[in-house]
Each structure stands twice: as structure tokens, then as C-alpha cells.
């Protein structure tokens, strides 16, 4: 024992004696301080920036930043995308439902998990690419996602990329995405998210480079800024992308109020800002707020735009500094922000120190990720109508006809800003796999999306060919080929990526009328990234579901819902209006008569609407009779599955300020929870409302905690006379004193 103790003591003494030597070796190992991972990040960043020449600094402020070989700094491209899975990558990846579909899940936990899985796949791609010496576009770790613009008008083609029309839902889902993507490591980011497009941007697409938005202070703070504030202040998003358009006469990327006063000064944002691609060119080429590229570049940098997505205007920063249009020290501010993100991503540390650098390509499309893609596709589906329990369909039917332009369209399930999976399931494939050989499934497209102006279709012939089917499933709607970002589309009803009408294309309605005349039940499965007006279909067809662009497992999820293997519980994140007559002018950014919060008419299907194959009852809403200003309140409500089928329910919490002296929403979402309930089971759902949740925005954009009465409603959708009677919602009034 004594010998063992003596040896142990000797070993300890030897280690202690070696520590100073190891320290010296460590210090000698690094040529520059920024290479030393033991130093604080800000120390390393300052050291690195201090070593750059003016030309090198400007190069690092382009999205495709070149290598600086003399310092051992590798090239880096800031541009990458992961809207609903890693996008535009040469690798096969997991593709989840389009963002608007993920919003329809009303499930923050699911979205957080999806973002975590996406970051994992993104890390694997980045690790493998670096190993192969590839550092180009769509291979980095700075993802320009999420798009948290408010989907204020259903004609906007890029609305599919958002989380819908509501600031609260958008902020909550956006925060879940950011925290999932960026991870919870105390030192390293798993990946870097970017909130875009800051801050008042939602079409029209053809004029996005030139239009100037004028909105009231009330709309700015009540509608357009809350989600951005939530992601910047609470989610600690790493990046922000400023928008193309101008606001109050200044381009968003060079805007005094948005960029300086609010983002940097009020919200204390310390992350990086990137321009949208080509947005700085717009300063001098389209907005004409700058006389030339040099002035535009200086203006953008002085307003805190740290990196230009582009390779033209920021190159003039070299001459701008030499001409005295901005000091070189201003570039250093931007460079410190940019390199801080790269250091937080572990790009300058030994891979063995960064746990995320160990992730291999074995995680790409792994079983957990694919299962979650299916789960989210199922969760996103919204049951809009189910007359006489038409759905679910029986699996023992002898013959089913599957018709429509989206039945077998692989592009329509992917949305836009998408990756490519190894396998994707269209609706037709999902239905065939569900039914097997016992049921005959016949398919024909029947029509394209909008028909042809030069051909008169014989839809009665299509109906005649499928009249012997036991049920007809029409899978229509629109597609990513028609709506999206600044697209060259000129088909009837579409222009430049936007819709010119929200009506379902006439060709599809005409075909549906012919199919209905067969006397067989017609189920309408709608795929879309935006709200579509379907007045005839809603009046005349027995069953309608909205399936969005559901990702790689869209077809399986659709079949699961159609045949009862999954009980739908998705909710609409946007209002489905009856017609174009319900809409203000597209380019009018005022929120008057827009979205469920201010729309005074009756929608076809309201925000938050969605049916189930079972029924739910709400009661026992518990909250205090009164609350002092500045205090939080706890709310609980009991929800019971009163039907015969297990299922999920989304409980939505709305506030309505009664008799307020200032402008207020008709009602506003302030909480939501998705819960699974077995048949006959009850659960108590709890919410906590902060003083800010109970407050109002005034016409000056100030938060006011006003005394008065607030109607609190909890339930499975927005409240109205019918939902109160059926106990689908329950309400009480609280006094703020």
C-alpha cells in the first residue's frame, strides 16, 4: 500500500510540475491570439479584426467572404437556408411541411424539435463539406430563416414561408424555431438563425424593390414588430435580415427608426444584420435614396447592415473609406459582429472541442427525423368540413377514384426554399399504399391548375369514367410553381409569384361540379401555401381538408387522415375569406379590415379554425375577477374529449378589450396548447398571462396598461355565439384595476 501511495504521489507531483511547461507549449503553439480557444471570444475577435487590412475587411462583409490565407482564415459563405429542413443542399435531407403548414400544427414543441433536427443535419453537411474542402454557398451554418413577416394579405406568394397572419402565433413559433436551431450549449451555437425580412414586408412581389411602406405607429408596433422583438429580445436570434422595400422614405437596410433606434438602441441587438440579396443595390438603382454605390454602401453600414448579400455595392466600401464617407472604425464594428458569430459557431476552434463538429452524415434522414416529418405533416392537416361524417373513409371500399392536379405532383409537396429527400410520397402514392390490393385505385389528373384558355375541357367525360367509384378524392388547390418569390408566372389568377385572385381556379371548380353530379361522395383535398376562397366547394361538397405543402411524407399523412388512422387537429394560421371582395388593396399595408384581428366581415373559415373526428367540450374556466395593472394572472380551463375517438385538441386563448377608449383588435390570440386526449378523458389546460399580454398598443406605439374589462375566451377556435352555445369555447370577463 505504501509503494502504491508513493507512486501516486510521484505521479501527481510530476503532473503539477508539468503544468507550467504545458502552458508554455500551449502559448507557443498559437501564432495569433485569436487562434487561442482558451481566450474569451471578444478578445479573440478584437485581435483578429485588428490584423485585417482595409481590403480584407471589406471582403469579409460580402456574403461570399474570401479566405485570408496569411492569417489562416478560411473562406465562408453566409448564405444558407433551412425554412423547413436544410434547403438547396447537394445532400439528401429530411423535408418537413412548408412553414405555413408547420404553423398550422399550433405545436411549439414539434417546431422546436424540427429545428433541432434540421440543425443536426446542417452540421453534418457542414462538417462533411469542410472535410472535402468545400466552403461554398448552401454549405455554411448561418441560416437565413425564419421568415416572420406577417401574412397580412392572402395574395402574397411568399406568405407560405411565414407562420401566418397573427403576431402572437408568429412570435411563439418563431421563437421555438430559433431556440431549436441554435441549441442550448453555453458556448457554441449549433447553427445560427436569422429573423427576416425586417420589418414591414409582405408583397407585392413584382414591386418589392421599389415600394415605400407608410403605416401608422399603431400598426407598426401592434402588428409588424412584435414577432421580431420576441425573436431578438427573448429568443436571442443570431441574425436579422433587413428587407428590400423602403419604410417612411428610407430603405429598410438603411432606416433610422428600424435599424438604429429600435433594433440596436431599444432592443439592444448585438448580432449581425445581413441585407436581403441585392437590397443595397436598390438604394441607388431603384429607391434612388443614394446617388451612387459608394454612398449606398456607406449608408447601409452606418445603419448597422453588417454583410451584403451581393457582390457589387459593398465592394465600394474601400473607396468610401478613402473618400471619407465613413471611418474605417465603422467597418470594425460590423466585422466584430460577424466574427463573433463565426467564433460562436466554433469555426476557429479545434473540432475536438466543438461537440457539434462531431456530427456525421449518418444523421441525414435518420429514422427519428423522417418520423418527425410525418408527424408534422399529420399535425398540419386542417379538417375544414365533414358533413354527415363522410370522413374517415372506409378502407374496405372496392374502388376509389383519385383526381386532380396535385394528386401526383412531387413538386407540390415540397413548397419552396426546400431540400430534396431520398423519397417523397405524393397523395396518390400514400392512398395506394394505405389501401393495398383489396381496393382498386384509379387516377387521372382531370385538369391542370388553371385549365387552358384555348381548350374547352370535357369534364363530364372525366366524371363518366369514374362514376362507378365508391368515393372520389379530388386533390387540387395550387402549387409552388404558381406562388412564391418574384416568379415569372403569367397564368390566369397569378402574377409575378403572387395571386391576383384568391378564388380556387375556375377549371377546378367546374371539374368538381361534374364529379359531384355522379352522386358519389366527393372529398376535396386542398394543397396550398395560402388562403383560397372556395364558396361553392364549401357549400356543396361533403368533406374538405387543407393539407398545405406537406413535405416528404405529405401523401402518407393525407392518407392517414382520409382513412382514419390519424385524427386531424390542425388549425388555420390565416383567415380563409369568402372572396376577393373581402380584401383591401394588396399594396395597402394598413391593418384596417385585415386578418381576424380587424376583419369586420364573416370569413369562410376563420383563423384558428379546424375540426376533428371527435368532439370536445370546454368548461371550468378559472381566472381572477380582477387584477391590478402590472400583475400577471393564471388561467385554467378544463377540456374533455366527449367523442368516441382519441385525438388532439388545440386550446386557443383569446382576449377582447371591451369599451376601450383607443383602437384595439376585435380579439387577439394570447396563448395556445396542443393536447392529446383519449376518448372520455379530461385535462386542465393552464395559461399564464403577463402584464404585457394584458396591455394595449396606443396610436404612438406605446404599451399601455389600461384599466378596464377584458373578455377572456378559451376554446378550440375563435369565439362566437355558436361556439359558446355548443361549449366549444367558454368565456369570462376580468377587470383590470
Fold of 616-736: Immunoglobulin-like (2.60.40)
* Bridge partners, 563 (sequence order): none
CA 435 to chain centre: 34
Grid coordinates in use for 670? 394570447
Backbone φ and ψ of 546, nearest 5°: -110, 120
The strand pair at 382-386 and 543-546 is best described as antiparallel
Q: Is the pLDDT of residue 136 over 70?
A: yes
620-638 pLDDT, tens digit each: 999 999 999 999 999 999 9
- H or E element that contains 10: helix 2-29
Residue 384 sits at the vertex; the CA angle it makes with 380 and 390, to the nearest 5 degrees, is: 110
**Mean pLDDT, residues 209-221 taken together:** 96
User: Which alpha helices (DSSP H) does 590-691 contain, by range?
Assistant: 595-598
User: Which alpha helices (DSSP H) does 563-715 contain, by range?
Assistant: 595-598
151-200 pLDDT, tens digit each: 999 999 999 999 999 999 999 999 999 999 999 999 999 999 999 999 99
- H or E element that contains 402: strand 399-403
Helix axes 167-182, 108-131, angle to 10 degrees: 40
Rounded-to-integer distance, Cα 605 and Cα 104, Å: 14
462-466, 575-579, 683-687, 717-721: which range is least confident on average? 717-721
Q: What is the 3-state secondary structure (H, E, C) of 598-616?
A: HCCCCCCECCCCCECCCCE
Model confidence at 130, in pLDDT bands (50, 70, 90)?
Answer: very high
User: What pLDDT is stored for residue 420 in this prediction?
Assistant: 98
* Bridge partners, 346 (sequence order): none
- Listed residue (257, 309, 313) closest to 283, CA to CA: 313
468-490 pLDDT, tens digit each: 999 999 999 999 999 999 999 98
Q: What is the 3-state secondary structure (H, E, C) of 94-144?
A: CCCCCHHHHHHCCCHHHHHHHHHHHHHHHHHHHHHHHHCCCCCCCCCCEEC
The strand pair at 729-736 and 708-715 is best described as antiparallel
Is the omega angle on the peptide bond into residue 197 within 30 degrees of 0, that is, cis?
yes
User: What pLDDT is stored for residue 698 in this prediction?
Assistant: 85
User: What pLDDT is stored for residue 316 in this prediction?
Assistant: 98
Rounded-to-integer distance, Cα 2 and Cα 601, Å: 90
- Listed residue (603, 585, 599, 578) closest to 668, CA to CA: 599
Model confidence at 721, in pLDDT bands (50, 70, 90)?
Answer: confident
Superfamily, domain 381-598? Glycoside hydrolase family 3 C-terminal domain (3.40.50.1700)
**333 exposure class (CB count in 10 Å sphere: 0-12, 13-18, 19+):** middle
User: What pLDDT is stored for residue 27 in this prediction?
Assistant: 52
Active-site residues: which are they? 276, 483
The strand pair at 239-242 and 250-251 is best described as unpaired
Rounded-to-integer distance, Cα 26 and Cα 494, Å: 63
Name the residue with cell 390490393: 437
Query: Contact 636/686 with Cβ under 8 angstroms?
Result: yes
Averaged pLDDT of the chain: 95
Query: Contact 254/283 with Cβ under 8 angstroms?
Result: yes
> What are the residues whose beta carbons fall under 8 Å from the beta carbon of 701, sequence distance 6 or more?
217, 218, 220, 221
> What are the residues whose beta carbons fall under 8 Å from the beta carbon of 674, sequence distance 6 or more?
105, 106, 107, 110, 379, 569, 648, 649, 650, 651
Query: Contact 449/459 with Cβ under 8 angstroms?
Result: no
Query: Contact 206/245 with Cβ under 8 angstroms?
Result: no
Rounded-to-integer distance, Cα 295 and Cα 254, Å: 11
Quote the pTM value: 0.95
2-58 pLDDT, tens digit each: 444 544 454 444 444 444 434 443 455 899 999 999 999 999 999 999 999 999 999
Rounded-to-integer distance, Cα 490 and Cα 485, Å: 14
The domain made up of 48-363 is a member of CATH 3.40.190.80: no
Model confidence at 436, in pLDDT bands (50, 70, 90)?
Answer: confident
Rounded-to-integer distance, Cα 578 and Cα 601, Å: 10
Grid coordinates in use for 151? 401574412
Backbone φ and ψ of 15, nearest 5°: -65, -45
Model confidence at 142, in pLDDT bands (50, 70, 90)?
Answer: very high
3-state secondary structure of 692: coil
Q: Is the pLDDT of residue 1 over 80?
A: no
| % the chain with pLDDT above 90 | 92
Rg (CA), the chain: 28
Which string of b and e fits 685-716 if b means at least 16 CB within 10 Å? bebebebebbbbbbeeeeeeebebebebbbbb
CA torsion through residues 162, 165, 171, 177, sign: negative
Grid coordinates in use for 321? 473609406
**Mean pLDDT, residues 299-313 taken together:** 97
Rounded-to-integer distance, Cα 422 and Cα 91, Å: 9
Domain boundaries of the chain, sorted by first residue: 48-363, 381-598, 616-736
User: What pLDDT is stored for residue 3 in this prediction?
Assistant: 45
3-state secondary structure of 528: coil
529-568 pLDDT, tens digit each: 999 999 999 999 999 999 999 999 999 999 999 999 999 9
**Mean pLDDT, residues 501-519 taken together:** 98
* Bridge partners, 713 (sequence order): 654, 731
Q: Other CB atoms closer than 10 Å to residue 579's CB: what's the count?
A: 13
3-state secondary structure of 735: strand
- Listed residue (87, 65, 89) closest to 78, CA to CA: 65
Q: Is the pLDDT of residue 306 over 50?
A: yes
Rounded-to-integer distance, Cα 634 and Cα 402, Å: 49
Amino acid at each position: 500500500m505504501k509503494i502504491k501511495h508513493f507512486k501516486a504521489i510521484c505521479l501527481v507531483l510530476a503532473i503539477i510540475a508539468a503544468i507550467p511547461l504545458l502552458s508554455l507549449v500551449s502559448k507557443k503553439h498559437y501564432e495569433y491570439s485569436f487562434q487561442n480557444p482558451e481566450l474569451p471570444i471578444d478578445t479573440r475577435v478584437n485581435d483578429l479584426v485588428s490584423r485585417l487590412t482595409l481590403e480584407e475587411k471589406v471582403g469579409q462583409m460580402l456574403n461570399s467572404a474570401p479566405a485570408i490565407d496569411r492569417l489562416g482564415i478560411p473562406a465562408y459563405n453566409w448564405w444558407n437556408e433551412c425554412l423547413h429542413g436544410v434547403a438547396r443542399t447537394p445532400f439528401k435531407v429530411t423535408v418537413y411541411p412548408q412553414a405555413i403548414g408547420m404553423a398550422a400544427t399550433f405545436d411549439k414543441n414539434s417546431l422546436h424539435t424540427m429545428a433541432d433536427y434540421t440543425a443536426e443535419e446542417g452540421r453534418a453537411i457542414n462538417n462533411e463539406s469542410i472535410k472535402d474542402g468545400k466552403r461554398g454557398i448552401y454549405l455554411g451554418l448561418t441560416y437565413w430563416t425564419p421568415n416572420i413577416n406577417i401574412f397580412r394579405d392572402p395574395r402574397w406568394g411568399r406568405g407560405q414561408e411565414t407562420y401566418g397572419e397573427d403576431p402572437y402565433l408568429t412570435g411563439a413559433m418563431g421563437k421555438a424555431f430559433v431556440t431549436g436551431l441554435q441549441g442550448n450549449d453555453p458556448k457554441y451555437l449549433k447553427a445560427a438563425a436569422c429573423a427576416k425580412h425586417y420589418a414591414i414586408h409582405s408583397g407585392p412581389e413584382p414591386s418589392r424593390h421599389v415600394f415605400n411602406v407608410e403605416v401608422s405607429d399603431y400598426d407598426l408596433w401592434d402588428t409588424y414588430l412584435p414577432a421580431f422583438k420576441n425573436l431578438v429580445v427573448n429568443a436571442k436570434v443570431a441574425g436579422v435580415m433587413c428587407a428590400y422595400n423602403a419604410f417612411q422614405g428610407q430603405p429598410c437596410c438603411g432606416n433610422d427608426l428600424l435599424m438604429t433606434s429600435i433594433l440596436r438602441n431599444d432592443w439592444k441587438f448585438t448580432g449581425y444584420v445581413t441585407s436581403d440579396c441585392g437590397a443595397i443595390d436598390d438604394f441607388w438603382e431603384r429607391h434612388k435614396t443614394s446617388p451612387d454605390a459608394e454612398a449606398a454602401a456607406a449608408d447601409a453600414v452606418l445603419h448597422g447592415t453588417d454583410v451584403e448579400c451581393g457582390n457589387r455595392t459593398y465592394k465600394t466600401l474601400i473607396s468610401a473609406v478613402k473618400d471619407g464617407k465613413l471611418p474605417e472604425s465603422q467597418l470594425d464594428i460590423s466585422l466584430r459582429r460577424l466574427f463573433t458569430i463565426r467564433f460562436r459557431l466554433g469555426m476557429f476552434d479545434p473540432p475536438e472541442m466543438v461537440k457539434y463538429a462531431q456530427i456525421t452524415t449518418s444523421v441525414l434522414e435518420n429514422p427519428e427525423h423522417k418520423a418527425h416529418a410525418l408527424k408534422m405533416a399529420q399535425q398540419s392537416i386542417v379538417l375544414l368540413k365533414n358533413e354527415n361524417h363522410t370522413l374517415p373513409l372506409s378502407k374496405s371500399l372496392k374502388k376509389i377514384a383519385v383526381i386532380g392536379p396535385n394528386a401526383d405532383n412531387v413538386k407540390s409537396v415540397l413548397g419552396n426554399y426546400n431540400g430534396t429527400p431520398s423519397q417523397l410520397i405524393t397523395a396518390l402514392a400514400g392512398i395506394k399504399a394505405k389501401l393495398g390490393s383489396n381496393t382498386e385505385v384509379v387516377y387521372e389528373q382531370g385538369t391542370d391548375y388553371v385549365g387552358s384558355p384555348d381548350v374547352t375541357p370535357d369534364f363530364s367525360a372525366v366524371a363518366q369514367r369514374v362514376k362507378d367509384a365508391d368515393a372520389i378524392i379530388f386533390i387540387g388547390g395550387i402549387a409552388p410553381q404558381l406562388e412564391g418569390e418574384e416568379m415569372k408566372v403569367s397564368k390566369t389568377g397569378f402574377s409575378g409569384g403572387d395571386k391576383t385572385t384568391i378564388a380556387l381556379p375556375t377549371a377546378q371548380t367546374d371539374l368538381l361540379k361534374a364529379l359531384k353530379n355522379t352522386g358519389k361522395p366527393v372529398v376535396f383535398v386542398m394543397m396550398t401555401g395560402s388562403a383560397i376562397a372556395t364558396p361553392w366547394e364549401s357549400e356543396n361538397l361533403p368533406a374538405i381538408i387543407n393539407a398545405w405543402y406537406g413535405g416528404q411524407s405529405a401523401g402518407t399523412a393525407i392518407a392517414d387522415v382520409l382513412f382514419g388512422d390519424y385524427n386531424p387537429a390542425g388549425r388555420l394560421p390565416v383567415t380563409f375569406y369568402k372572396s376577393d371582395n373581402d380584401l383591401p388593396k394588396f399594396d395597402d399595408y394598413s391593418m384596417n379590415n385585415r386578418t381576424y384581428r380587424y376583419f369586420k366581415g364573416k370569413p369562410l373559415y376563420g383563423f384558428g379554425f379546424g375540426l376533428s373526428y371527435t368532439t370536445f367540450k370546454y368548461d371550468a374556466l378559472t381566472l381572477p375577477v380582477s387584477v391590478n395593472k402590472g400583475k400577471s394572472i393564471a388561467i385554467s380551463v378544463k377540456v374533455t374529449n366527449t367523442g368516441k375517438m382519441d385525438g388532439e385538441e388545440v386550446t386557443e386563448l383569446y382576449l377582447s378589450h371591451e369599451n376601450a377608449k383607443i383602437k384595439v383588435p376585435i380579439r387577439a390570440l394570447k396563448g395556445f396548447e396542443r393536447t392529446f386526449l383519449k376518448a372520455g378523458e379530461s385535462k386542465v389546460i393552464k395559461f399564464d398571462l403577463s402584464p404585457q399580454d394584458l396591455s394595449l398598443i396606443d396610436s404612438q406605439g406605446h404599451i399601455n396598461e389600461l384599466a378596464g374589462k377584458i373578455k377572456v375566451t378559451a376554446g378550440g377556435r375563435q369565439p362566437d355565439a355558436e361556439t359558446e352555445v355548443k361549449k366549444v369555447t367558454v368565456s369570462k370577463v376580468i377587470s383590470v384595476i
